[in-house]
Chain A
Amino acid sequence: MVEEIGSTADGNIILNVGPQHPATHGVLHLVITINGETIQKVEPHLGYIHRSIEKMCESLTYRQFIYVTSRMDYLSSHINNHACALCVEKGLQIEVPLRAQVIRVLMDELTRIASHELWWGAMAMDLGAFTPFFHAFREREAINDIMEETCGARLTMNYMVPGGVMQDIHPNFQKRVKEFIALFKSKVSEYNELVTGNIIFQNRMKGVGNLSAADAISFGCTGPTARGSGVSCDIRKLYPYEIYDTINFEEILETEGDSFARYMVRVREMSQSISIIEQLIDNIPEGDFQAKTKAVLKLPKGEFYQRVETARGDFGVYIVSEGGTTPYRIKFRSPGFSNLSALDHMARGSKLGDLVAMMGTLDLVIPDIDR
């Protein structure tokens, strides 16, 4: 397009942010129209790393397609796998053993913390502070080590399988998780000292990227993005899956709807996840880690939809089955895609520097958006 190169007729500059740009956390391409430093319009151009996972899954069996979903939202790969496993189990009506359920929830929450840790560091780095990124990785590495020990990989684990989990937890798992909780609790006050309380940081975040509750719902925003606007949308509370209805935890809500509210939601969510882990880590019931399933899974004819809460929001798996061994059609409803659509609405009229803060608090993971 010619328009993308130069400037518009009324003298505004058109600036291509991305696909290779330090602030886009990957390969997001935004075409923004700016007047001086003020943003007039933000237009995402997606597809730079679109792999058509939905089409790919149509030729994979119900056991195979789960690993692909780790490559979507790679920061909450466990939770993506979990959603797919749940959806297949819903179709096959498999009763998952309690031990497997608890392990799954533990892994989900660890993943959520790891994802928020990375987000926290990257958020501060977007705003120009490099140090928090490395401090966040200290805690994130501890989680990755736990994952490596039990699941055998650090990022794309493929640990959830239909019927339970692939392997039982490692004998060291409980000890290591308790060590991590102690580490996290001793370091969490530093987050406040380094970033949250910092006057420069607060001024960069407060009143930036306002999103009202009505707009958040209309744009389909979910997860911390919507909860920062006071919209209650935690799937773990509203449509509980696994054992979330028996766990005592709080849905974090902030009402301001600005970047700082979204920031605070995520920071407080980390502590909530820690409390969930603390409730479960000593109470992993004995039993099987996997239900007995057939070697070849065949979903009955029909449609199955499963919603879970990833670190970024409402992740949905929609399987249409024709009764074969592979899905007829799969749709992944990714939270980042809807959250991104609100960016234009939020960014209009604010400064170029604010765009970075907004994108940071939306916590975009581009493979999740592009799928």
Chain B
Amino acid sequence: MWSFSKISKLIDSWLSVNFSSTWTMVIEMVIAGIAVITLFALLGLVLVLMERRVAAWIQIRLGPNRVGPGGMLQSLADTLKLLVKEGMTPDGADKFLFNLAPFIAMIVAMLLMAPIAFASDFQLWDLNIGVLYVTAISSLMVISILMAGWASNNKYSLMGAMRSGAQIVSYELSAGLSIMSIVVLSGSLNLNEIIQSQADGWWLFKGHIPVVIAFIIFIIAVTAETNRAPFDLAEAESELTAGFHTEYSGMKFALFFLAEYINVFIVCAIGATLFLGGWMPFHIGHWQAFNHVMDFIPSSIWFFGKTFFLIFLIMWFRWTFPRLRIDQLLDLEWKYLLPISMFNILLITLMAILGWHF
């Protein structure tokens, strides 16, 4: 049986036999880069199609059904359309920042890919402070949005950027606190070790009520952090037309669009890693036969399955709820989520110190 880890080891051993260690390193980095970009492109296609399908079915519509079998190639056609469109830079815009912003958004999304464990023993960078790295890098996302909003020389863009700045900075807090609660329980910042700590059961299903609360807060906070409805104030189209990317067109717009979906994927991957055991198969106590069947499913499928379940959750929210107002958004964070998550982490710390968890 082959798996991602076996393939990567094969490539590594073949390269180190044929090349010097420096060249091996360089070639492996190039391969990793190409793999990440390919993954981005694939994710973009799949997630856009998935979003459109989910939206259509919730809205009692059919969704895309003209391009390719069952509309499967719709997002490919959209990409082609965006590629051939003219990328305009408005008059009076800060041209350098305006053109830089979408690339920053993509670079941040790429950086976030590094510590994620896609399958057992398959990771770009096994970082000992993975969780810290993820929280630190993900807050850089706001820079590209602020840059885009400021450089566009458009009032709607500017307002969208300012809203998004306030929003991301405040929701980082509760997202960070709910991530911390898992760190406290597992006692490690390394994503791999966190996954290993869930070998006998995922944190969400271990029966700790504070973890469930932390999970709910995490989902709400990351929805806000990725600017998804009901927290899509940065691009609230009925108020700000398209918010920070009002002036973007063609491929530059597509990069923002892609970065949004990649960010959704990454935060859901983090959520799956922390709360749902990453690539760990689903095990129930002493049901040996059942557990063996579960082990037979490849770990990468487990990981992507959990991640896509969380992505579906976030899409489901988007197509159900109305948008919040900016002051209500901050109220929700500072009056509800932050106090609750602080109280929650206190409980979890007590649990960890007293050894009540298992």
Contacts and interface: CB of A to CB of B under 8 A. Distances in A.
Determine if chain A interacts with chain B.
yes
B38 interface: no
Given A23-B239, A351-B326, A352-B239, A134 B61 contact: yes
A204 B324 contact: yes
B277 interface: no
B22 interface: no
Given A37-B159, A200-B230, A352-B159, A126 B238 contact: yes
Contacts of A198: 321-322
A126 B328 CA distance: 17
Contacts of A37: 159, 326-327
B13 interface: no
A22 interface: yes
A13 B230 CA distance: 26
A277 to B, nearest CB: 24
15 contacts: A15-B155, A22-B237, A37-B327, A126-B238, A127-B322, A129-B320, A194-B320, A198-B321, A198-B322, A203-B328, A352-B239, A353-B233, A353-B323, A353-B326, A356-B238
Contacts of A204: 322-325, 328
B81 to A, nearest CB: 21
Contacts of A200: 230, 321-324, 328
B291 interface: no
A37 B158 CA distance: 12
A128 interface: yes
Contacts of A134: 59-61
A323 B79 CA distance: 65
Contact of A22 (B58, B238, B320, B326): B238
Given A129-B322, A131-B319, A351-B327, 4 more contacts: A21-B241, A198-B321, A351-B326, A353-B236
B232 interface: yes
Contacts of A124: 322
A353 B60 contact: no
A22 B156 CA distance: 13
A135 interface: yes
Interface size class of B (residues with CB under 8 A): 20 to 34
B229 interface: yes
Interface in B261-285: none
Interface in B299-354: 319-328
Interface in A13-58: 13, 15, 21-23, 37
B294 to A, nearest CB: 35
Interface in B48-95: 55, 58-61
Nearest to B319: A131
Contact of A127 (B58, B323, B327): B323
Interface size class of A (residues with CB under 8 A): 20 to 34
Contacts of A13: 155
Interface string A342-353: 000000000111
Nearest to A353: B325
A128 B241 contact: no
B182 to A, nearest CB: 28
A23 B238 contact: yes
A129 B325 contact: no
A255 to B, nearest CB: 24
Nearest to A25: B238
Interface string A122-155: 0011111111011100100000000000000000
A125 B171 CA distance: 25
A354 interface: yes
Contacts of B321: 128-129, 198, 200
A125 to B, nearest CB: 7
Interface in B233-249: 233, 236-239, 241
B233 to A, nearest CB: 8
B319 A130 contact: yes
Contacts of A353: 233, 236, 239, 323, 325-326
Contacts of B239: 23, 352-353, 355-356
A23 B230 CA distance: 17
The 3 closest A-B pairs by CB, nearest first: A128-B323, A134-B59, A127-B322
A351 B331 CA distance: 14
Contacts of A201: 322
A124 B319 CA distance: 11
A92 interface: no
A128 B228 CA distance: 11
A128 B59 contact: no
B320 A128 contact: no
Contacts of A354: 325
A252 interface: no
B93 to A, nearest CB: 16
